[in-house]
C-alpha cells in the first residue's frame, strides 16, 4: 500500500490546494525550496515554478489565459480591491477605472476571468431598509435612564404569529444520492397570534386571539395583565415599566393615557432596533421548539393553538 501511495504522489500533478500549502510554507513559515520539495515529494525546480507563477500572475493554477502574463499580480489585486470597494460596478466601469489608473487597456472578459480566479461571482443584491436614527436611539436612552428602573420592573411585550408551515422540519438524513421525500396534505392552517409579556425571569403572561390583534383586542389584553394577573404594581413597583415597539396599535394616545392612569410607564423602542428587545430572542426559541415538537400530519386547526401553548409553557415562570 505504501508503494502505491508513493507512486501516486510522485507521478501525479499537484492539486491547487497542495500548491497553496507549499506557498504558505514558503512565504509564512520561511522554509527553503529544498525543504518544501522534500515535504511534497517534488523537484526544487517545480517548487520554484509555483513561486514564480504566483508572483507573476497572483494565481497557482496551471491554466493560464492568453492575457494572463500581460497583467501582473499587482494589477489583478487592484481589480479585486476595486470590486471590494465598489461591488455594484459593471465590468465596463471597472475597465474604464483600470485604464485611468494604469494607462493600459484591458478587456471586460479578462476582468471577469480575474474576478472568477479570485472566487468572486455575480450575485443578486439584497436591499434592506434601515432607517435607524441616532436621535431616536438617544431618546430611548434618556427616557429609560430618567426612570428608577431595575431588572424586576421592566417588561417587554410584543405580538407574534405562528402557522404550521413554519413548524415543519426542512432537513433530514438519507442515503447519499437518494432524495428525502415526505408525502402528505400540506394545507396551511389558520395562524395563531399571541401577545406575550416577559420579565427578567422569563415569560410572565400570554394571550391569544383568532387572526391578528387589533387595537381593541390589544388594549383588552393589556388591561387583563395589568389588573387581573396580580403581577403588575404601580411604578416603581414590579413590572411597571413596559417597553413596546412602535407599531400603530401600541402608539394609541388613549392606550398610553390609560396605562399611565394605572401607574404603568410605557416606553417605545427606537425604530428598526429589534436587537434592543429580548422578546425577539424568545420568539426565535419558541419557533425552534415548535419545529421539534410539531407532529407533522397530526395537527388541525383546533389543536394547533394547544401545541403553541405547549411550546410557551416551556419558558413560563
Measured in whole angstroms, the distance separating CA 223 from the mean position of its chain's CA atoms is: 36
Q: Which CATH number fits the domain that encloses residue 231? A: 3.30.420.10
Q: 85 and 146: one domain?
A: no
Question: Could you tell me which residue, 6 or 283, shows the higher pLDDT?
Answer: 283
Q: 224 and 259: one domain?
A: yes
Q: 221 and 273: one domain?
A: yes
Can you give the pTM of this predicted structure? 0.58
Confidence bin at 8 (pLDDT 50/70/90): low
Q: What is the mean pLDDT of residues 69-94?
A: 90
Q: 262 and 166: one domain?
A: yes
In this structure, are residues 308 and 290 in contact, taking their beta carbons and an 8 Å threshold? yes
The residue range of the domain holding 198 is: 134-172+185-313
Query: What is the overall mean pLDDT for the chain?
Result: 86
Does residue 11 belong to any structural domain of this protein?
no
Question: Could you tell me which residue, 170 or 237, shows the higher pLDDT?
Answer: 237
Confidence bin at 68 (pLDDT 50/70/90): very low
The DSSP string of the chain is -HHHHHHHHHHSPPPHHHHHHHHHHHHTS---HHHHHHHHT--HHHHHHHHHHHHHHS---S---TTTTTS-HHHHHHHHHHHHH-TT--HHHHHHHHHHHHS----HHHHHHHHHHTT----PPP-------HHHHHHHHHHHHTS---TTSEEEEEEEEE-GGGTS-------TT------S--PPPPPEEEEEEEETTEEEEEEEEES---HHHHHHHHHHHHHTSS---STTSTT-EEEE---GGG--HHHHHHHHHTT-EEEEPPTT-GGG-THHHHHHHHHHHHHHH--TTS--TTTHHHHHHHHHHTTB-
The 10s digit of each residue's pLDDT in 37-56 is 888 888 899 999 889 888 87
Confidence bin at 65 (pLDDT 50/70/90): very low
Q: 306 and 160: one domain?
A: yes
In this structure, are residues 193 and 159 in contact, taking their beta carbons and an 8 Å threshold? yes
Q: 151 and 269: one domain?
A: yes
The 10s digit of each residue's pLDDT in 206-250 is 898 877 888 999 999 999 999 998 999 999 899 999 999 988 889
Q: 88 and 149: one domain?
A: no
Does residue 301 belong to any structural domain of this protein?
yes
Q: 78 and 156: one domain?
A: no
The 10s digit of each residue's pLDDT in 295-313 is 877 778 788 888 888 888 8
Does residue 211 belong to any structural domain of this protein?
yes
β-strand pairing of 241-244 with 202-210: unpaired
Confidence bin at 180 (pLDDT 50/70/90): confident
Does residue 61 belong to any structural domain of this protein?
yes
In this structure, are residues 264 and 155 in contact, taking their beta carbons and an 8 Å threshold? no
pLDDT of 63? 55
Does residue 129 belong to any structural domain of this protein?
no
Tally of domains within the chain: 2
Inter-CA distances, 95 with 66, 72, 99, 123, 154, Å? 18, 16, 6, 19, 57
Q: 167 and 279: one domain?
A: yes
In this structure, are residues 117 and 109 in contact, taking their beta carbons and an 8 Å threshold? no
Does residue 27 belong to any structural domain of this protein?
yes
Residue 311 bridge partners (DSSP): none
CA distance 112 to 89: 12
pLDDT of 246? 87
Q: 258 and 305: one domain?
A: yes
Q: 150 and 103: one domain?
A: no
CA distance 150 to 199: 11
Question: Could you tell me which residue, 186 or 85, shows the higher pLDDT?
Answer: 85
> Is the CA virtual torsion 25, 27, 31, 34 positive or negative?
positive
The count of other CB atoms within 10 Å of the CB of residue 231 is 15
Closest-CA residue to 243 (of 304, 178, 197): 197
Q: 40 and 145: one domain?
A: no
Does residue 35 belong to any structural domain of this protein?
yes
pLDDT over 70, % of the chain: 92
CA distance 236 to 150: 9
pLDDT of 66? 46
Confidence bin at 158 (pLDDT 50/70/90): very high
Amino acid at each position: 500500500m505504501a508503494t502505491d501511495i508513493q507512486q501516486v504522489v510522485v507521478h501525479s500533478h499537484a492539486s491547487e490546494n497542495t500548491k497553496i500549502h507549499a506557498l504558505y510554507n514558503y512565504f509564512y513559515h520561511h522554509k527553503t525550496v529544498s525543504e518544501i520539495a522534500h515535504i511534497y515529494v517534488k523537484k526544487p525546480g517545480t517548487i520554484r515554478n509555483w513561486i514564480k507563477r504566483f508572483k507573476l500572475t497572483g494565481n497557482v493554477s496551471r491554466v493560464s489565459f492568453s492575457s494572463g502574463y500581460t497583467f501582473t499580480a499587482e494589477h489583478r489585486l487592484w481589480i479585486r480591491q476595486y470590486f471590494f470597494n465598489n461591488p455594484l460596478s459593471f465590468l465596463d466601469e471597472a475597465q474604464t477605472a483600470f485604464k485611468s489608473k494604469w494607462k493600459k487597456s484591458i478587456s471586460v472578459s479578462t476582468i471577469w476571468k480575474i474576478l472568477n480566479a479570485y472566487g468572486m461571482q455575480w450575485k443578486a443584491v439584497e436591499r434592506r431598509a434601515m432607517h435607524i436614527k441616532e436621535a431616536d436611539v438617544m431618546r430611548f436612552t434618556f427616557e429609560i435612564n430618567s426612570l428608577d428602573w431595575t431588572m424586576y420592573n421592566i417588561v417587554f411585550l410584543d405580538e407574534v404569529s405562528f402557522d404550521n408551515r413554519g413548524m415543519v422540519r426542512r432537513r433530514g438524513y438519507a442515503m447519499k444520492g437518494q432524495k428525502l421525500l415526505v408525502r402528505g396534505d400540506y394545507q396551511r392552517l389558520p395562524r395563531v397570534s399571541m401577545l406575550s409579556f416577559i420579565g427578567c425571569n422569563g415569560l410572565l403572561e400570554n394571550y391569544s386571539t383568532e387572526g391578528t390583534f387589533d387595537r381593541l383586542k390589544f388594549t383588552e389584553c393589556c388591561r387583563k395583565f395589568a389588573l387581573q394577573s396580580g403581577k403588575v404594581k404601580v411604578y416603581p413597583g414590579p413590572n411597571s415599566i413596559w417597553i413596546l415597539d412602535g407599531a400603530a396599535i401600541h402608539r394609541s394616545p388613549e392606550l398610553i393615557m390609560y396605562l399611565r392612569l394605572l401607574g404603568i410607564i410605557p416606553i417605545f423602542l427606537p425604530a428598526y432596533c429589534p436587537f434592543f428587545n429580548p422578546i425577539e430572542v424568545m420568539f426565535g426559541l419558541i419557533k425552534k421548539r415548535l419545529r421539534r415538537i410539531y407532529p407533522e400530519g397530526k395537527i388541525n386547526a383546533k389543536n394547533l393553538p394547544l401545541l403553541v401553548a405547549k411550546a410557551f409553557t416551556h419558558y413560563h415562570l
